[in-house]
Amino acid sequence: MVQRVKRGQSAYRAYVGPFATKEAAASAAAGQSGAAVSGPLRWSAGSFAGEAEANAQAVALSQAGFDADVALTEAGYAVFVGEAADNTALQALKAQIAAALPTVGLTPVDAAQSYVLKRSELDMGGESAGGPLAAFAFSGGAKLWAAAADAQGGVTVRERFDRAYRGGIELSRFNGKLAVVNELPFEQYLVSVLGSEMSKEWPLEALKAQAVAARTFALKQGIKYQIAHVTDTTTDQAYKGVAGEFAAAQQAVQATQGEVVVDKNGLINPLYYSNAGGMTAAPTEVWGNEVAYLQSQKSPDEGAQAGKKVWYRIVLPNGNTGYIHSDYARATGQKNPAGLPYYESTATGVSVRPAPYVDNATNPGAFKVDIGDRFVVIGQEVESNAYSWIRGPYDATKVKEKLGASYTGGALNRLEVSKRGASGRAIEVTANGQPLKAAYPDSLRTMLGGLPSTRFDIEETGRYTILGAGGATRSQTSASQPVVVAGSGGKGKQTDDQLFVMDAQGKVRLATRDPQFIFKGTGYGHGLGMSQWGAKSYAELGYDYQKILLTYYTGVLIQKAAP
């Protein structure tokens, strides 16, 4: 929605598109009252040394009723008028301008010329909806450069994350979309990467190891995206601009300046991630192929769960079940006939969640309890973290939807890890005995709803094993309506939707009529290369950064990069 002032009055024009051809635009405009096709053909109403002079010319044209915009070209400022879709319309516009403003000289704008139009647009969404914004329309290979007025400050990009960045911001059009590229000194970029990937509370040697890995990774990418080397997300490396900087990160980057990890072929691809879950992955467990400098090995990652609180798995009298944070539950000192303890809520409006962690998007509260509400505790887990986690339970129908084309069978009743790699990661999962069609092993994480890692077990609530006389066992589903014998000798078929089963050790598990699946695992990320939590623990054990790197990457050297 472009806002202009024409003949002293505010004027607005809504645009829909763009379209690849005039014919496509005309088809979209057909039948729309007042719609017309605009195009790339314009007249230049003069070139000017400064923006103020260009603005004056644009105002004169607008007062005469024409759409005029200030343009920034390679030669300086200009005023462009019109947006004709063909030459006939362009010549008609020239005649109209000549009649209204005979002293204005017009020259055609080369369609291949690079320029940027500056105009005012209305924000139709977001917090400032309806307010005018300075907007830029790009043509050809035009680029804009924004730099901070204060050399010590940063340039803020409101879109996406509302973050400030060192260096400058280059704006251009790339593949038909707005491209926003932050350009800054390489080592300064690394300072923010460290702060975005690790905590300022972590040991300096762990930060140094991260600095060398991040430097090597970025250099290895080259100009990966044609107009930029890397993205600012974990697709490459997290980068939060000024917000990611802290003093220890600066110190780590300076202490390792220029250092990279190499093997006999040059720079390695030093993959890293949050947590290995106790064991790093072999490349065959992630990609399906070998990489000499990446080998599966133990990793001290347990620190991620240090200090995490316990969550209780509870059952209410109405059968509702889930996890409650231990801060909001206390023991009553009483037990039910099965010997399980009664607890009660210590607050009102406490969310009980399917899994033991807080995430209102992926793990919202299933129900709430109020102060004094009583429930039975059937188990407990440490709050899900980067080292150990629980996801689910997920209904079989939901899991089947997530699997999409990777599973072509009927109703989903069984989901099992059928093959594991050297580190215990799942490299094959079967659904009703049919192997899922995964492009590579690590893609199982995405297929199963975004699991933190592939180092997991699957608990099926719709199936259980019964131990009979003489040690005989048999597996059956809850849907088969098992016969339940009471202590008094009475018996009958179980018809409820869920059943709680206690084993000989007093552990309770949930069995449901309809299949559900719970994923319990360790680790966060693909598991290849350096575990960040492992690097932290190694640093706390006294390893320096070089020893940390040489532990996670096999048969490599650390050296200065070529200038």
Report whether pLDDT(530) > 80.
yes
C-alpha atoms less than 13 angstroms from C-alpha of 47 in its C-beta half-sphere: 9
Q: H or E segment at 255?
A: helix 247-255
Q: How far apart are CA 425 and CA 442, in angstroms?
A: 9
Number of H helices, E strands in the chain: 11, 37
pLDDT of residue 538: 98
The per-residue pLDDT for range 279-330, each reduced to its tens digit, is 999 999 999 999 999 999 999 999 999 999 999 999 999 999 999 999 999 9
The per-residue pLDDT for range 225-246, each reduced to its tens digit, is 999 999 999 999 999 999 999 9
Report whether pLDDT(129) > 70.
no
The per-residue pLDDT for range 30-48, each reduced to its tens digit, is 888 888 899 889 999 999 9
Percent of the chain with pLDDT over 70: 92
Q: How confident is the model at residue 473 (pLDDT cuts 50, 70, 90)?
A: low
Mean pLDDT to the nearest integer, 150-171 = 88
Q: Looking up tokens 């690849």, which residue turns up?
A: 20
Mean pLDDT to the nearest integer, 324-339 = 96
Report whether pLDDT(563) > 70.
no
Report whether pLDDT(170) > 90.
yes
Q: How confident is the model at residue 221 (pLDDT cuts 50, 70, 90)?
A: very high
Report whether pLDDT(199) > 80.
yes
pLDDT of residue 126: 59
Q: Which of 60-69, 457-466, 536-545 has the highest mean pLDDT?
A: 536-545
Q: What is the pTM of this model?
A: 0.82
Residue 559 is classified by DSSP as E
Q: How confident is the model at residue 562 (pLDDT cuts 50, 70, 90)?
A: confident
The per-residue pLDDT for range 77-91, each reduced to its tens digit, is 999 998 899 999 999
pLDDT of residue 482: 56
Q: How far apart are CA 279 and CA 525, in angstroms?
A: 12
Q: Average pLDDT of the chain?
A: 90
Report whether pLDDT(494) > 60.
no
pLDDT of residue 118: 84
The per-residue pLDDT for range 254-265, each reduced to its tens digit, is 999 999 999 999
Which of these, 547, 404, 518, lies nearest to 456 by C-alpha position?
Answer: 518
Which of these, 501, 525, 497, lies nearest to 395 by C-alpha position?
Answer: 497
Mean pLDDT to the nearest integer, 177-192 = 94
Give how far Cα 260 sits from Cα of 149, 200, 215, 217, 541, Å.
Answer: 34, 22, 6, 9, 23
Note whether 296 and 303 are within 8 A (CB): no
Q: How far apart are CA 229 and CA 266, in angstroms?
A: 18
Judged by average pLDDT, the poorest of 93-107, 292-306, 361-375, 451-465 is: 451-465
Mean pLDDT to the nearest integer, 424-433 = 97
Who wins on pLDDT, 484 or 193?
A: 193
Sequence letter at residue 215 = R
Q: Are strands 310-315 and 321-325 parallel, antiparallel or unpaired?
A: antiparallel
Q: Looking up tokens 């033991």, which residue turns up?
A: 356
